Amino acid sequence: MANPFLRRATEYVRDDASFLAIVSPAPLTTFLAKSKLKEAMFELPVRIIGEPGSGKTMLATLAEFKMVETIMRDLSTENHRGLATALADAGFLQDGKPHIAAVRIPMESDYRDFWELPYEPAVKTKLALWLVQARTMLGLLRNLTANRRRGLDDIRFIARESSEAQIEQIGGLTARGIRDRALEVQKAIYSIAAGLRPPPIENLPIAATSPYQPFEAIRAIEIEWQGESLFLSPLVMLDDVHALHPDQRDYIFSTLSRREIRFGRWLMMRLDALSPGAVLSAPGSQETHNLTTGRDFVDIRMQGHSERGSERRQFRIMALDMAKRYLPLVQSLKNRNADFAALLPGEPPSLSPGRLKEFSALVEKEQVKLGITNARRQEIDAIVSEHLAGSQSYDKRLEVHLSMARILMHRYANRVQHMTPSLFEDFDPDPKSPLKADAGVAEAARFQLSDAFNRPYHYGIYDLCDASNENAELFLQFAGALVARMETRVIRGKSPSLNASAQESALVEKARTIMDGWSFAFARRVRLLVDAIARECLEVSRSPNARLGAGANAIGIPEEEIHDLLRSENELALVLKHALANGAIVIRRNYGQGGRYWCLIELSGIVCLVHGLTFKRGGFLEKRVAYLQEASN
């Protein structure tokens, strides 16, 4: 039986109704409706930048006119009403009617081939751009007529002021004229790029070389909507622009940035389309083509765009919403009316009595070895108990208490090791800085229990969200692995909910499969790099006094060194860029600590899962660029 979570992308969903049943409006709200530059989004060029799987295509598919029309024609379902609200917030609806006629044009297929033609860059770009425009016009007409609510004769295009000269080039303002001209241009230009022997420039067909600029000529579209006429602003969403050659992309972007254009244009691309400097957010390395963000174009980043804590919270809401829509489609779980979060209980695991006894004995042995008096131990136990009593965490079992006490004992021993013992009293001085139990110590205690006793560490719905690094597709893959196990349990007549141990083993297995399947550029070097970082982080996290609190999952490189690296021609910058763009690492720039600024290279959720590291952020090891070079080779 098909598991909808394991269908990697919405591209596979075959009809509009099924797509609308599972699509979550959250990306529309998160990335568009809340943007400060919302007003300019249909006038200026917009670059939407995100990792693979961050939901760009889903967003574009949902915003297409045929989808908007399908939603607006039937608002009797709660699902459609929710989507309509999100579309209205994002500006696609106005007064309860469609306001934008959007079309998605995939760019991954053959536009890159134009760059290989033996002509001048300006000619190659012009050909590619005209082909894009012809396909946009055809796509728009298909979208407007898709639901069979109107024919071509019911559609009229409105020209921009003083564009009379261009109207004839685009086939007039009737839908039929525009369609015929677009078909002609498409066929002529396509034959040039698709052939094995490109014609000499002087033999290019006239249909391919005569001017064709519908983006500049058209400002609106008039259609019939529920008995009255409705004016729509056209919008083209160019998907996967990263597939173009960088120079080609620059040419196209600067052409589309012309102020005369009244046609909305969005360019959706993956992070790796940008230079390493821009990907790693180096100050001054924004690729602006002499244009200014906000004034000449708008940038929307689907990751790393806002404060990270709130980003995590936003993603949790979006992910849960997606899971809620997908779960009823799983046949074996359909009739149980189950809540996804409830199927992944956060009930803490417990050590078996035997292991607990063994651990307790070990802690006592260490107490003796460290020379800690019973009175001091009692004080430490009291500190731990006090913290756990006030803690919001539900994992407060005895083994966590013991493990925290063990960490504090080691910290105590470290703090008093240089004090001189007295001849006449028990050696039990107060440390200069008092011992404190906090969330970091508790997290370290859980990590150490996982490391030494295989006590489950990553489980529960929030860990699932955090493992996905704010990437919707990744979340679905992890959730899919968990749902597959739930299905097995149901088939065996058991309750579908998974205990902590089952959750963790499914997540780790999936993370391992994902890492093994990495096949992007420099994947081999990226794998070497993250494995090396993970090994060092593990070693530090294992230190008995948990000197980095919750543990490490990152390294810090001095900002100035990263700055120099990004300005150099070093291949390492490309390795970092691809690691970041493909979700192997997360970068945090200008992190101030110890009087210095650091560029933090954090391991992503996948890598942390595979190596059993914490998801908590902040713990890092200080390194140099030379280390990155060495570790990635």
Partner 1 sequence: MRNHWNNCITHFDDDVGTFIESFFGEEHRRCLLVGAAGFDPRSQRIAKMLSDVLGPRLSGIFIREERGQRDAELLGRADDNAAALKQLVPDCEILYVDVFGDDGAAIGGPRIAAKLGAYSIDGGITDIVLDMSALSIGIGFPAAKMLLSDCENVGRSFHLFIVSNPELDDSIVSEPADRPMPVKGFSGSEALDGLLDPARIWIPQLAKGRKAALTKIGLSVGECYKICPVLPFPARDPRRADGLISEYENELVNEWQVDPRDLVYVSERNPLDCYRTLSTLKQRYYKTVNGTFEPKIVLSPIGSKVMAAGALMAAIEHNLTVQYLETVRYEFNAPDNSTDKTEDMMVHVLLSGPAYGDYDALLRTEEI
Residues near partner 1 (CB under 8 A): 1-4, 6-9, 11-14, 106, 108-110, 112-113, 115-116, 118, 135, 138-139, 142, 146, 179, 183, 186-187, 190, 194-197, 243, 245-246, 480, 517, 519-521, 523-524
């970041």: which residue's tokens? Answer: 580
Contacts of 505 (CB under 8 A, 6+ apart): none
Name which of 197 and 418 has its Cβ closer to partner 1.
197
Question: Closest separation between CB of residue 51 and partner 1, Å?
Answer: 13
Name which of 448 and 477 has its Cβ closer to partner 1.
477
> Hey, is 557 helix, strand or coil?
strand
Name which of 220 and 521 has its Cβ closer to partner 1.
521
Neighbours of 114 (CB within 10 A): 23
Question: Closest separation between CB of residue 310 and partner 1, Å?
Answer: 31
Question: Closest separation between CB of residue 358 and partner 1, Å?
Answer: 40
Question: Closest separation between CB of residue 522 and partner 1, Å?
Answer: 9
Name which of 517 and 592 has its Cβ closer to partner 1.
517
Question: Closest separation between CB of residue 245 and partner 1, Å?
Answer: 5
Name which of 47 and 262 has its Cβ closer to partner 1.
47
Buried b or exposed e, range 5-37, using 16+ CB within 10 angstroms:
bebeebeebeebeebbbbbbbbbbbbbbbebee
User: Do residues 466 and 460 lie in contact, with contact meaning Cβ atoms separated by under 8 Å?
Assistant: no
Residue 314: HSE in the Cβ half-sphere, 13 Å Cα cutoff: 20
Question: Closest separation between CB of residue 348 and partner 1, Å?
Answer: 32
Name which of 4 and 276 has its Cβ closer to partner 1.
4
Contacts of 31 (CB under 8 A, 6+ apart): 48, 59, 300, 302, 305
What is the DSSP secondary structure assignment for residue 10, as one 8-state letter?
A: G
- Cα(519)–Cα(515) distance, integer angstroms: 9
- Cα(140)–Cα(137) distance, integer angstroms: 5
Written as one string, the DSSP assignment of 162-201 is: T-HHHHHHTT-SBHHHHHHHHHHHHHHHHHHHHSSSPPPG
- Cα(60)–Cα(12) distance, integer angstroms: 15
Q: Is 222 left (phi over 0), alpha (psi -120 to 50) or beta?
A: beta
Name which of 249 and 455 has its Cβ closer to partner 1.
249
Name which of 13 and 93 has its Cβ closer to partner 1.
13
Question: Closest separation between CB of residue 172 and partner 1, Å?
Answer: 18
Name which of 183 and 341 has its Cβ closer to partner 1.
183
The one-letter amino acid code at 323 reads: A
Neighbours of 446 (CB within 10 A): 26
Name which of 252 and 555 has its Cβ closer to partner 1.
252
Question: Closest separation between CB of residue 265 and partner 1, Å?
Answer: 18
Question: Closest separation between CB of residue 59 and partner 1, Å?
Answer: 16
Per 3-state DSSP, the chain is made up of helix, strand and coil in percentages (nearest 5) of: 55, 15, 35
Task: Provide the angle, in degrees to the nearest 10, between the axes of the packed helices 472-491 and 500-516.
Answer: 130
**Alpha carbon distance, N-terminus to C-terminus of the chain:** 43
Taking CA atoms, 155 is separated from 100, 108, 137, 152, 229, in Å, by: 14, 29, 12, 6, 10
Buried b or exposed e, range 507-532, using 16+ CB within 10 angstroms:
bbebbeebbeebeeebbebbbbbbeb
Question: Chain centroid to CA 106: how far?
Answer: 20
Name which of 13 and 102 has its Cβ closer to partner 1.
13
> Two tokens at 368?
């003796």
Name which of 582 and 604 has its Cβ closer to partner 1.
582
User: Do residues 584 and 530 lie in contact, with contact meaning Cβ atoms separated by under 8 Å?
Assistant: yes
Q: What is the dihedral of CA 284, 289, 292, 297, to 10 degrees?
A: -130
Question: Closest separation between CB of residue 344 and partner 1, Å?
Answer: 20
Question: Closest separation between CB of residue 569 and partner 1, Å?
Answer: 12
Question: Closest separation between CB of residue 473 and partner 1, Å?
Answer: 11
Question: Closest separation between CB of residue 240 and partner 1, Å?
Answer: 9
Name which of 112 and 336 has its Cβ closer to partner 1.
112
Question: Closest separation between CB of residue 108 and partner 1, Å?
Answer: 6
Name which of 160 and 179 has its Cβ closer to partner 1.
179
Contacts of 548 (CB under 8 A, 6+ apart): 540, 541, 619, 620
Phi, psi angles (nearest 5°) of residue 233? -90, 130
